[in-house]
Amino acid sequence: MPALNIDFTEEELTLVRSAASDSGASMRAFAKQAILDKASDREGRVRALAQQIAERSAELNQRLA
């Protein structure tokens, strides 16, 4: 299975370790879920922005058609 190594400062690692502990997850599971959540959120934001652009430009697109 492919893997990903990420370098953290001591402060960043302390923050991640604390957040993982608070959530009851291992650091690996916490980091993986955080990355997947962020990636999924990005796709949703892109779709939402595309929809906003389509709505804002609908009138102009009608006139240009």
Write the burial class of residue 5 (CB in 10 Å: 0-12 exposed, 13-18 middle, 19+ buried): exposed
Q: What confidence category does residue 61 fall into, taking pLDDT thresholds of 50, 70 and 90?
A: confident
Nearest C-alpha neighbor of 21 from the set 36, 6, 31, 11: 31
- pLDDT tens digits, one per residue of 1-53: 899 999 999 999 999 999 999 999 999 999 999 999 988 888 888 889 999 99
Q: Residue 48 and residue 21: Cα distance in Å, rounded? A: 33
